[in-house]
Amino acid sequence: MVNLSDKKESVLSRIPASTIPYVHTIFGASAFVFALIIGCYGHYYKIVTNGVATYPDEWFPSVSATTGDWYPERNICQILIALASGPRLMLCYLWYLLVLRNVPTSGSDSFAKFLFTNDVIRTVACGGWVYVTSSDDHGIHDFAMIIYLLCTIPHVIGTIKSAPQNPRAERLRRQFAYSFFGALFPMVYFFIQHNIHRVPGAYTYYALFEWSLIFSDLAFDAVCMIDFEAFEIRVVDVGMGGSGNYDVGSSSFNELKTFGGGSKSKSIVSPVRLMDSLSFVADVYLAFVFWSMLTSLPLMIWYFPLWHMGLSGYEAFLFCNVSVGLLGFASLRRKVDTSRGWFHLASLIGIYSYKVLDPAYRLMAVAAGVSLSLLTWGATLFSQRAQNGRAERGVLTLALGLILHNVIKQAWWANNPIWPIMDEKTGGANMLGLVVGILASVQVIRRQEPHEYEAKPNEIPGVVRKQQGESWIFSAVGAGGYLFCLHSMFTEAATISRWSLGGYPNTGPGPIAGGLMVIMAMAGGLALSSKRQLVTSWIWFGVGTVGLFILHRVEGDVGFFGGILFTVFVLSLFPTIFRSLGRQSPGRAFLVTVLVYNFLALAHVWVVAYAFVPGGEVMRERTDLVIFAMQACLALGIHNTHSTNWTFLTETRKRSAFSIARLYSKVSLVGLILCSVFICLRRLPRESPKPYHPEHRLITAGIWTIHFAIDDEMRNSELRMRDAIRDLELDVIGLLESDLQRMIMGNRDLTQFLAEDLNMYADYGPGPTKHTWGCTMLSKFPIKHSTHHLLPSPKGELACAIHATLDVYGKDVDVIVSHNGQEEDLRDRQLQTTELGRIMRESNNPFLFLGYVVTKPGQGEEIYELLMDGGRMHDIEPKDWDRWCEYLAFRGLKRTGYARVSHGGITDTEIQVGKYVVPEETRASSEHRRIPLEEFKKLEAYEQIEEDQVPVGLRYPTMFYGEGVRGHRFHVFDRPYYYA
């Protein structure tokens, strides 16, 4: 206590500090309890009603309905929450002082500031979801609630970690924390049952767990009353001279002003240096640039064999990364390290390459950028300067750059805005990215860093080059497998979702929710990486391997959550794997790393592109072998770390550069997660998809082979595709060659962009682990059920198909989207078309076929007859003899129009579009199977009529006549066909 007996100033008031959490708990609990009582008394039936059901299925109200929808309970709750906000902020500050006093260890100042900042954000977020209710603005309300829940995680963990030693308080805190986090899992389950599966009564159980969160949260904070029993708040009259007249010489007063309880300790208000912050941001952005260039290289290489339909020679640019082996020359390594900023600046040629029009020269510029960037980051990770923690800081920024890469791609619908395939016309932000990269490089150039180089690293105090027992080859192989794992699976947040998807309704989380969970799992894994004894244990390796096995073998939600487990495992290894690599001789170690990475990358391509490479049949459809080899590499890398000197690494963590980076990385992870949450909220659909012409009961359906969304000029073609689909007013479209979730396609996802921008339902089709080139279906009509088929393909490419049932104006209509094999494999095409015919023939619903079948139309063509006659389908226009691969067919619907539209340079294949009317009454469900084939063919007459005889709503847009628009026009017969 401060002895004031000899002072002129007087203590005006003494308040026990435990009063603050007590008042906060009383006001907070009263706000919700009174709102619940008054709401049930005045508006019970209204607040238990939701969009799915009402009483008696729903019998308990949710928190948001109770506190946000009706007067007076809403207003009473808000008033009491306002009264609780003052004590809540005071509680945050008191805990901040408590942390400084009771945890006088290295880094506690930073930890206290982080925890205080997090708690203030959490308090403001609470005000956000209380005062902006779901009826006011659902998006803002949910956004504030998500921020509140995210901030609760570090709040609970940080409070338990920093609390004074008190068994009673610790026991209570852990009990309330377990009840809080334990309630989240059933709450999410029942919310999915309510919101997705629309199960009556599920929202009541969701509400019960939601209320339990409120009271567990309040009870957790109320435990502070125990910790604050030894604290007292005083109001002191210091006179007219202010605080300057007060004697601050006593040790007790200084303990509140200083860190660690001594008057000579560091001030708690010491500011974080602005230049340190800018330096860290610059490093993270340059890491993002590295991942951007690395992921763009295979994508740009793929352009050439794609258009050559075989090996082109440009594949050799994959090996541009072997330049990192030059770091074995000490003089070059020193030059790169002392001039890192200049090398970063030079590597930006890979970003500037978007200005190069010729695809070959653009690829060369990107390869140069990747080589320079690898040299620069290799020099950064090499632990010559381990004594100041800079290499560890480099690893952290590289990991944060990867997560930033995922967040930015999430904002651009799985595209990277600074990739060279992007430009201003295709939605890129290349020039902005280039300018920021230049500024970041200049910051590194101007940065003051020590340059300690000695002839022998062992002469540098505190530096350990290679841990006893470590193997450089194991480190290199482990790092190569790890780099491949990161590139192939974690450079796009939606990849895990696409690996685990099945047909409707077992699709698993979509790209929005799934992408957010993956980014959170990546952040969680990186945060867990400091527990190095855990993350390098064989138990943890087994956990990660089980997660990968579940992801690879199980579809839907279960498979996805196996992927989440694997994500946490992989990111937790990031510092360990790369720091182990950085302790080896860089020339040979880095060279072997990139060679292992290249080998796995080629194998990853061959599993699906086996028909284009010599000997590719060995790896045909063997993703299991690729991931087994990847895990084997990781196992070697983890085994190698078991000989690591952990005491040395613990000392490294205390060094200045790494200590500051740890603080910034925690803040960055929270910021990146919040950015991801905001992006997801912005991308949520605002209304249900609606067909273009419901007044005519019209379906406009098309088929288009889109060549992996890379156009003739090696630019991303998604915006132009969207415009064409929109202008043609397509209600249903099949897109072929659409599976872009591979390294050679940039781990992109055109399906999510087109579905969201066009406001359509989407079925991605068989995922990346099914080894097809992909087929996607977009629909303005709800998808009731779908099945993904891998059609028989004993020799050639594995063919994919989607068989979906749509709810079209209240009637079930079946649709098949398929991509059959090539001309060279006749037996495959026979088997595949026979299977398609069986599926269509056995369906009792009206049917649409939208597919790629290599054949010629007309009688006598075996494949054509297997499709049309075997499936009991009608060709949309049998007299159109100039077709080769794309076909439209129908049954049970009234065909009204047919058109062929040129590709406009987006691909090498046209768009075929048919218009159909769904009759009010359809024929008997199995009539097509009961009547003879010849009679079935006569059911459809092909009487063409002129356009002016067709209602306006059934016509094709006139913009496609003549020269058309954006290169798209009616071609072959230069106009649409219309039918009576």
**What span, in angstroms and rounded, lies between the C-alpha atoms of 462 and 686?**
58
Contact between 832 and 794 (Cβ < 8 Å)? no
The encoded tokens of residue 14 equal 């003494």
Q: Is residue 461 reached through a cis peptide bond, with omega within 30 degrees of 0 on the bond before it?
A: no
**What span, in angstroms and rounded, lies between the C-alpha atoms of 273 and 262?**
24
Burial of residue 450, with CB atoms counted within 10 A of its CB: 0-12 exposed, 13-18 middle, 19 or more buried: exposed
Q: Can you tell me whether residue 849 is helix, strand or coil?
A: strand
Contact between 710 and 893 (Cβ < 8 Å)? no
Q: What is the pLDDT of residues 27-77, one digit of tens each?
A: 888 888 888 988 888 888 888 898 888 888 899 998 888 887 788 888 888
Q: Is residue 509 reached through a cis peptide bond, with omega within 30 degrees of 0 on the bond before it?
A: no
Instruction: Specify the pLDDT at position 657.
Output: 57
pTM of the model: 0.77
The encoded tokens of residue 541 equal 């390796």
Tell me which DSSP letter residue 629 carries: H
Name, in order, each residue with C-beta under 8 angstroms of 659's C-beta and a sequence gap of 6 or more.
Answer: 106, 107, 110, 389, 653
> Is 803 noted as a catalytic residue in this protein?
no
Q: Which of 861, 739, 750 is nearest to 790 (CA)?
A: 739
Catalytically annotated residue among 819, 874, 903, 928: 819
Tell me which DSSP letter residue 913 carries: E
Tell me which DSSP letter residue 240 carries: T
**What span, in angstroms and rounded, lies between the C-alpha atoms of 895 and 898?**
8
Pairing state between β 811-819 and 847-852: parallel
**What span, in angstroms and rounded, lies between the C-alpha atoms of 203 and 172?**
29
Burial of residue 361, with CB atoms counted within 10 A of its CB: 0-12 exposed, 13-18 middle, 19 or more buried: exposed
Contact between 861 and 855 (Cβ < 8 Å)? yes
How is 568-606 classified by DSSP, letter by letter?
Answer: HHHHHTHHHHHHHHHTS-HHHHHHHHHHHHHHHHHHHHH
Q: Which of 881, 837, 825 is nearest to 857 (CA)?
A: 881
What is the residue type of 495?
A: T
Contact between 871 and 841 (Cβ < 8 Å)? yes
Query: Which segments in the chain show pLDDT lower than 70?
Result: 1-12, 102-108, 237-273, 383-388, 448-469, 643-659, 859, 922-925
Instruction: Specify the pLDDT at position 852.
Output: 96
Q: Give the bridge partners for 762, in sequence order.
A: 778
Sheet holding 874-875, edge to edge: 783-791, 799-808, 811-819, 847-852, 886-891, 874-875
Tell me which residue has tokens 């205080």: 116
Instruction: Specify the pLDDT at position 643.
Output: 62
The encoded tokens of residue 800 equal 């994919």
Tell me which residue has tokens 């200590």: 659
Q: Give the bridge partners for 734, in sequence order.
A: 703, 777
Q: Can you tell me whether residue 269 is helix, strand or coil?
A: coil
The encoded tokens of residue 568 equal 């946490």
Q: Can you tell me whether residue 793 is helix, strand or coil?
A: coil
Instruction: Specify the pLDDT at position 87.
Output: 86
Q: How far is CA 98 from CA 104, 255, 904, in A?
A: 10, 10, 67
How much of the chain is in helix, strand and coil states, percent to nearest 5? 60, 10, 30
What is the residue type of 90?
A: M
